[in-house]
Structure 1
Amino acid sequence: MNRYFSALRCAWTVIARQSRTRRTGFGVAAVLLMSTLSSPAFAAYVFGQGTINVPSTVAPGTVVARDYVTTQTICGSTQCPSQRLELWDYGGNDRVTSGSDVKTNVKGLTTRMLINGQPAVTGYTAVITRPVEIQLVATGETITGGSLKGLSGTSSSSPAYFTFNLGNITGGGPFYQFFLAATVQAIAGTCTVPGQSVTLPGVSSTKFAGPGTPAGGQSFSIQFTGCPAGFNRVGYTLQPLGSAATQYAGELPLSAGSTATGVGIQVMSGGSAATFNTSLPLSAYSKTAPSNLYSLPFSARYIQTGSTITPGTVNGQMQVLMDYQ
């Protein structure tokens, strides 16, 4: 019987190392709910207007907070044509002419916009098909905290950090603005997620009954250690790595070394396909008395993805992005 072997390689490293030390990486992130306070038409207050907590000391380039603005929020549709993106240091102070990092009013932090998953620069034009991601990125200096609120300097009448025009690429449209006005509070320490590799047992092709059917499986857990006190929320995001197309929820893109075809790896959580690219709360975390170890159960299994299966190996990778509030 044909057999298929797979190594589901889920590797995570400590925050200071990010993805530089291994094939998969570990980052920090914060997904904040939008503030209930009002904002101007065609504008969003990213990270809200309250207080967000971030780690105080992390490696340069570490993303310490993330927030997302959906296309429905921006233009009321699944796709938003945009043009003439502009980036403003310190929120409306000086126009950024090169690069994607924008200076903020909090020492140790810059901010960055991702459109369709790619860092955006001044003049960027695109049809937005995914939630716009705004990141707070560590510069390597100790983050001291303070307000992100824009300065509204001489180069702009608006304290926005990011602006672009909505509408047809050739015709222009309403002006959309992204404000940062939250207060940053720095907390010493972060959670650590130990790296691991999960190997699935071999399985016969006769176990599959057609595209979408699973076979085999292996349980594993994701552990979180050393979480410090003080965060209002600790969350995690499972992010698959690789650009190969996938068809099913929880399916990992095939990575280098995969030789089988028509079969992939699906990550499961509590009997359902795992949720990717969405921050989920580490519910057991306690702000006042955190445990030294939290463990979440998962499993991985094969899933048939094509009408014909070719014998070989299948490999997939994902990383864990931590987020804090």
Structure 2
Amino acid sequence: MTIAFKTLQIQTIILLAFLFATRPCWASCTVSTTNGLAYYTFNVSGVTPTAFDPTAYTIGQTIYKGSGTVSVSNYKSTGPTNPTINCTESTWTWTVASLLPAVNGIFPSSVAGLGLKISSTSGTWPLSLPASSTFSAVYNITVELIKTGDITAGGVLSNILGEYRIQPSNQLVAQVTWANPVLIKPSVPTCTVSTPNITVPLLNPSTTTFRGVGSTFGIRPFQIGLVCTGGSTGTSTNTYITFTDLNQPGNTSTALSLASATGTATGLGLQILNNGTPIGYGPDSNAPGNTNQWKVTNIAQGVSSYVIPLSVRYIQTGSTVTPGTVTGRATFTMSYQ
């Protein structure tokens, strides 16, 4: 997506105390892997939730329940069928859990409002298992997706699902990951940008217009348009945006840098304003919580279009302003959460 301003364009393009004491005699364990890792890697496959209406479920209800196959991917077999764990001590236990703490047996997921409940023949995660427990090369788990809050956007379950650790040393001996990304598809409104290319002509001030660093001039309005469709009755989606300085992608200030070229003005930058307040710039990413990402609005089902009103102005950034052309470029990235 591109916005040009005048000459200007924005493209979507405790203090640590060291105490010396006798260390407890904890179990130290080794595993046999094909890739040199000190832990086994297990992949989960077969979890395929379908699209759903989030308003059809109350908090605590199960949206999806299915079976997943867990299989080891890096076991170096030396005879036994199942992966082996060799420990220096005979008294130890396993813990099996997600990386985030569970509340009433439900782990939070990467999708807001959606929790995970994992169980197997050994019980429901988090588990504490004795040392005599079998460590199988292939086994099944039951995965439940449970509504824990408002679900206003889809997402993906990927990467690490959980871990096996030896206690009390907390040594990692196995990591459980999703074999493939699991798509979460709530029936909520979706939006696209209807103004991917925007040109904003700037005013042509004299260098004497600027009275010192931080002085501003020449507000010019522009807008970004969204077209929205779909969603079940009563649903909505939260819309966020991040602007990125295309000339200096690492810029997180509120001043958009100018493109370097022969004849470019110096001592000036540009500011994009949201309701009169300069916005900051951040990485070109739609990840929730991205630097200087801000919420635009909540778009309810049935709203077909939305306009984001913005403006741009000059700001003096140097002690001296020299005449020349002013060209600023940035990208903007929408995120639906």
Task: Normalising by structure 1, report the TM-score.
Answer: 0.46
Q: Larger Cα Rg: Structure 1 or Structure 2?
A: 2
